[in-house]
Amino acid sequence: MGQQKDGQGTSEGPRPISVRLAMEVLRGVAQVDFMPSAVCGMFFVAALFAGGRQYGVYGLLGSAVGTGVAYGLRLARDAVAAGLHGYNGCLVALSCVVFLRSGHPATVAVLGAAVSVVVAAGLGAVLDTWKLPPLTAPFCLVATATTVAAPGFRRLWRDAGTPAALPGPATGPTGLTWEQLWHGFFANVGQIFFLPQWYAGLLFLAGIFVASRLAGLLAGAGSATGLATAWALGAPAEAVGQGLLGYSGVLVAMALCGVFVAPGGWSAAYAVLGAAGATVLTPALAAVAVPFGGHAFTWPFVLTTMLFLVAVPAIPRLRRI
């Protein structure tokens, strides 16, 4: 979502083109969580397959399509190599698995992943005026448009109430059991990819730690903040345990300390504040989205992160990277 390099770099050297492309596709999957690391991408792909074969296949398909289209459009080579044109396609394809009728999402997934590259290029040009990254806004725009349009196509629309949808008004029990608490901690990381399984979230978190210890710690802090905020405000325990409120907080925490803002004590506190804000925003946006599946996607992350980044120059204790 924003990092060009990590400790492994993106230098391709004399590797065969097939190996080079495979690594770029894996980086595209890893960049969903800001990690330009093929090794991290392997952990993420393993987590996707752990959640279900379709998730693994479509995650790779979306990243591959996005990467291929970026090459075809001759977008910046360094950005393509770092996976920056694969992550939106990955998420778009996964959203098709969740929201579209079984057996029909492949064509829409390919089309949506391709369109997300164009949307990302356009948004990047516009947002550069304010020195803001597009983040997952291209995915959110394409996925929102797809789910809004899908009910008009009988062969595409899956009935509302998908596994990734938030429940209605908070009428269920709010007391968290120990199992819901630790499941929710890992599920917050997995729900970025629409996966509520705790073991998938554990694999995602392990991949982040492999790529960057700081990023792993911030992801954990964001998840814990999301849990605490949702519990304190009385969110339904089932939704909290499935990670449906805290996933954007994971991304916000990583973005605001280490990715776009220089790491430090003040930026860590800033990141935690942002994670709490994104958690509060999530059910509000999901409520607006009820007619077409009830999912906020990563809009809470996008809106919160952009607002907090705009404020950074006005805060002397913080510094943009």
CA distance linking residue 172 with residue 150, whole number of Å: 30
**What average pLDDT score do residues 133-151 get?**
92
Pick the more confident residue, 156 or 141.
141
Phi and psi dihedrals of 39, rounded to 5?
A: -65, -45
What predicted TM-score, i.e. pTM, was given to this entire model?
Answer: 0.91
Residues across the chain: 321
Scanning the chain, the segments in alpha helix (DSSP H) are 17-30, 38-51, 53-72, 77-81, 87-99, 105-127, 137-149, 178-190, 198-211, 213-232, 237-241, 247-254, 265-288, 299-311
Are 21 and 67 spatial neighbours (Cβ–Cβ below 8 Å)?
A: yes
Question: What pLDDT sits at residue 8?
Answer: 40
Give me 66's structure tokens: 């996005």
Q: How far is Cα 220 from Cα 153, in angstroms, rounded to an integer? A: 40
Asked whether the beta carbons of 24 and 17 are under 8 A apart, the reply is no
Question: So what's the pLDDT on residue 173?
Answer: 58
**Which pLDDT value is given to residue 161?**
44
Give the mean pLDDT of 133-148. Answer: 94
Residue 320 confidence class, pLDDT cut points 50, 70, 90: very high
Q: Which domains does the chain have, with CATH numbers?
A: 17-152 (1.10.3430.10), 178-314 (1.10.3430.10)
More confident residue, 1 or 255: 255
Give how far Cα 171 sits from Cα of 237, 292, 295, Å: 10, 21, 18
- Mean of pLDDT values over 50-68: 97
What would the pLDDT profile of 260-291 be if each residue is shown by its tens digit? 999 999 999 999 999 999 999 999 998 888 76
Tell me the C-alpha distance between 301 and 321, whole Å.
19
Judged against a pLDDT cut of 90, whether residue 166 lies above it is answered with no
Least confident of 100-114, 206-220, 266-280: 100-114
What does pLDDT average to over the chain?
A: 90
**How far, rounded to the nearest angstrom, does the alpha carbon of residue 193 sit from its chain's CA centroid?**
6
- 18: pLDDT confidence band, cut at 50, 70 and 90? confident
Using CB atoms within 10 Å of the CB of residue 104, give its burial: 0 to 12 exposed, 13 to 18 middle, 19+ buried: middle
